[in-house]
Structure 1
């Protein structure tokens, strides 16, 4: 006996799946007879998919922005800084020895900080001056890798060499080999009065951190030259400390503050305090964007309500026939819950796939769009960074997918209950 292939497929589905799943699947399929309902189902899927993918992409970009910014800030700043009340530390070698007694401290370096005015033949601008030890600086940051022209080791004592940020060099028309003057507010006393102290420096290198704040407003010099220039004798501004885990820096800073309290008055600050407002703002923006985009997913998910309400109205005679054949109200309830859940599940899986692909390849997609339309999304002189970063966290993806599916299931409850309460006599009265 010949059995059509379609009947065979239906038999296999009925064999391995509960009939509620099979009927729900049949209701979702796009048919000419129920094309409008199928179209509404499709738009619900697309809405959920777009909402899920947009949320994954935006959260990945914000995670990447936060991570990239933290990396760049800590490339110049330090996990912990130790200073004194008058911004000068004496006998700092003894302090460093005491710091390294802590197992959490993996590196330290002294520094001298000051402010001045950088003057060239093309103009002048304020600059943050930092005196460093080229031998010890690598213990606390990766400045050596940021020097594009020259080397950090060129900052030798008594040479009065300077390594300048790339944006400051461009703005003032400075290249390696030029000589520039730096004025500082500390006065030089002369018979004619008090004048700002000025010194000529040799530009020995150019660095690029990737953050406009540092690239346009910071210059590096040898720590001994800085001590002479600022007339600090053998004192320093402070000691920078690197910890084994940057996220444990607040805890380590607290321990160091307690252990150093016996030796004198020291101020111990960690990177989370110095940039607390900024990272708190980024975290707040991330939460707000999550809520806003989750509302978009909720709107798309609750489109399932209208889809199922129309489906229940359209399938009243089918429901009545199923009940006549012995289907229980619970089975009818499951059919429409499964139908709505399948719409949400398909939309969520599609959105997760699309969002994950875009988030993992955003470093290629954004430059392509910028080149295609000749635009720049992040201007370096306005934003902290000039590239769109992305960091996909699978915990975020899991949370988004779970909430999306949960909203889809919740949206099916009312129409499904209405379908299960359908009376066969009422439904078939006009048929």
Structure 2
């Protein structure tokens, strides 16, 4: 089968044993470095994707994806929910009233965001019912002023089901100061743990109790919480619903409360990706060093090829093929090993924990007990493409140097 001269000779140079074993060592080092760089980048980005998935599931499973809030307390939240459910992007709706205040227990205090909910409807839009570790969500009864707090709050105060604490919320008044604190005694009926910072900053009470604290009618709420299909479409969905309902409503969504966290996570992934890309770049520089030494070692061969009619372009192509083969093999090995490691990273960490007898990840510190990983084939394609492109670019200068070799100069001592 016909093959171009450059590919034929370049492939032979790659397979052939060299007189200079140091060149072979540098070539192998370049290939290994490229493989390790690709492997590390695939594994690290997969782990970061896994962390982002876990945080999205935990945090965005608790906070509203989107919300339709009234300028005045809503008397008939079900009508607003029915209107929102007509949008095909909305999966579920539930009533919501939010307040901010301070929890006080035996002289200790902490800020808290209180959500007034309907326990019968909350399971449609939230994961909190699946993460109750003490008590039950259904124990929130109207008029009893029960509260479900996060595990971090319970641990900070030493709370258990049945304990009583005080909620302090600001209230606008006609007093000279304009705002006076209002206190309400609450009874702990449950503790939830989702494994995020919300465990220390969020509490749940019945919506009737929230209305009572706001001096509203028992059936009045602040707005309607929505669960949507596409999280990233939540701002557009909420605005579209408000546009249909009228100006007496306003839209809110998770990007206002949690957007900075996920933007920081995205930026962190980008920066770590760029840092890991430097490993691949170092391996590419090794390819440059390898090919320069090969060109010096093969000076006589290049001169002979030139004298029998090989053009500078063919000589350049020969060494570009040789360097590119190093890049292709290194990237392929690193890609395959990286995919295997990313798919089994949780098992690998578990094996290391069993062998060492130490827990690398404990839920008390990291909110998780296993290392999450989510392999995205787009990341794999991008990493492998970057490795191949940098390997190819690394061949250009040494190959150009080879094409400039003068036969008479190279053979003068032969």
Report the more deviating stretch, 117-126 or 289-298: 117-126
Q: Deviations over 1:104-149 (max 9, x none)?
A: 2221101222234444459543332222111111221222211233
1:205 aligns with 2:190: yes
Aligned to 2:176: none
> Cα offset for 1:39?
1.0
Residues 1:380 and 1:17: Cα distance change in structure 2 (over 3 Å): farther
Conserved? CA contact 1:116–1:182, under 8 Å: no
Residues 1:30 and 1:144: Cα distance change in structure 2 (over 3 Å): farther
Q: C-alpha distance in 1, partners of 2:169/2:148?
A: 21
Residues 1:22 and 1:134: Cα distance change in structure 2 (over 3 Å): same
Partner secondary structure for residue 231 of structure 1? coil
Residues 1:53 and 1:240: Cα distance change in structure 2 (over 3 Å): same
Aligned to 1:11: none
Conserved? CA contact 1:110–1:133, under 8 Å: yes
Conserved? CA contact 1:378–1:388, under 8 Å: no
Q: Which one of the candidate residues 10, 13, 21 is aligned to 1:35? A: 21
Partner secondary structure for residue 77 of structure 1? coil
How many equivalent residue pairs?
A: 406
Q: C-alpha distance in 1, partners of 2:331/2:15?
A: 18
1:183 aligns with 2:167: yes
Aligned to 1:156: 141
1:214 aligns with 2:214: no
Conserved? CA contact 1:82–1:240, under 8 Å: yes
Q: C-alpha distance in 1, partners of 2:255/2:319?
A: 51
Partner secondary structure for residue 120 of structure 2? coil
Residues 1:155 and 1:200: Cα distance change in structure 2 (over 3 Å): closer
Q: C-alpha distance in 2, partners of 1:267/1:117?
A: 26
Counting only pairs closer than 5 Å after superposition, residues 341-356 of structure 1 correspond to structure 2 as: 341-356=324-339
Structure 1 unmatched runs, 5+ = 1-14
Aligned to 1:79: 65
> Cα offset for 1:22?
5.0
Aligned to 2:36: 50
Q: C-alpha distance in 2, partners of 1:195/1:259?
A: 37
CA RMSD, 1 decimal: 3.0
> Cα offset for 1:37?
0.6
Structure 2 unmatched runs, 5+ = 174-179
Q: C-alpha distance in 2, partners of 1:216/1:404?
A: 43
Counting only pairs closer than 5 Å after superposition, residues 239-254 of structure 1 correspond to structure 2 as: 239-254=224-239
Residues 1:210 and 1:401: Cα distance change in structure 2 (over 3 Å): same
Q: Which one of the candidate residues 255, 266, 270 is aligned to 1:272? A: 255
1:397 aligns with 2:380: yes
Partner secondary structure for residue 75 of structure 1? coil
> Cα offset for 1:328?
4.4
Report the more deviating stretch, 309-318 or 296-305: 296-305
Residues 1:20 and 1:184: Cα distance change in structure 2 (over 3 Å): same
Q: C-alpha distance in 2, partners of 1:186/1:328?
A: 84
Aligned to 2:284: 301
Partner secondary structure for residue 238 of structure 1? strand
Partner secondary structure for residue 336 of structure 1? helix
Partner secondary structure for residue 219 of structure 1? strand
With normalisation by structure 2, the TM-score equals: 0.87
